[in-house]
Amino acid sequence: MRIGIEVNGVLRNTIDKITQTYQKFLIDKTEGIEDNGEFKYEMILPVESLNLSDHLKFQNEEELYSFLYEEFPMEIFGHAQSTEYNTFNDLNEVYLKLREDHELIIVSDEIGKSKPSTLFFLSKFGCQFEKVKFYSNYTINSMWDEIDVLLTANPALLLEYPSDKIVIKFDTVYNKHSESDLSISTIKELEEKLKQII
């Protein structure tokens, strides 16, 4: 069986790093500057959805894109923390136990400079997986073609996936309203959950 494990929300605490970077480089840098009715950077917390425009104020979508993928991709995607203290120790343990019978793949929704930043993140934490598959909204079908089971925190992927695939929900604040037959809260639970479905 081919098992895909998503980076954002499952392995990497991307949302927290985005809000920290926004605070440091957009809010803190503009504090004390006289407001002449100009645009003001603000956060609406907690972040309870992946629609960042609902939580972080930008002048337009282009500025949001630039913030994530042009100005601060290494700060956000490369230097984010793992979701749990032992995420990669637990992940590598699962990998070593299952790799003889199953193909395990890291998958991640990335574009532009977030790709090398994500590779840096994975190497920094010592990820031992042999295969990493990047996809985007345009190439998502190629990701589904390569896996049978997906562990994800993304509400969109929990809602809509091919009928011949199995999706396991990794519980987060922003997907608590997404229904799923299978869910886990820590990477440690993954091996046991896979035993139930394989």
Set out the domains of the chain in order of their start, with CATH numbers. Answer: 2-12+82-197 (3.40.50.1000), 14-78 (no CATH)
What gap in Å lies between CA 180 and CA 7, rounded to an integer?
Answer: 19
Structure tokens at 69: 């993928």
pLDDT at 128: 97
Strand 132-135 with 183-184, pairing: unpaired
Contact 17, 75 (CB under 8 A): yes
Q: Using CA atoms in the order 170, 176, 179, 181, what is the torsion angle rounded to 10 degrees?
A: 40
Amino acid identity at 70: E
pLDDT at 32: 64
pLDDT at 36: 63
Contact 76, 70 (CB under 8 A): no
Structure tokens at 6: 């998503």
State the Cα angle at 175 between 174 and 177, rounded to 5°. 110
What gap in Å lies between CA 92 and CA 94, rounded to an integer?
Answer: 5
Structure tokens at 24: 């440091």
pLDDT at 132: 98
Amino acid identity at 133: K
pLDDT at 34: 59
pLDDT at 38: 77
Q: What tens-digit pLDDT sequence spans the chain (198 residues)? A: 999 999 999 999 999 999 999 999 999 887 766 566 678 899 999 999 999 999 999 999 999 999 999 999 999 999 999 999 999 999 999 999 999 999 999 999 999 999 999 999 999 999 999 999 999 999 999 999 999 999 999 999 999 999 999 999 999 999 999 999 999 999 999 999 999 987
pLDDT at 29: 82
Q: Which residues contact 156 (CB under 8 A, 6 or more apart)?
A: 50
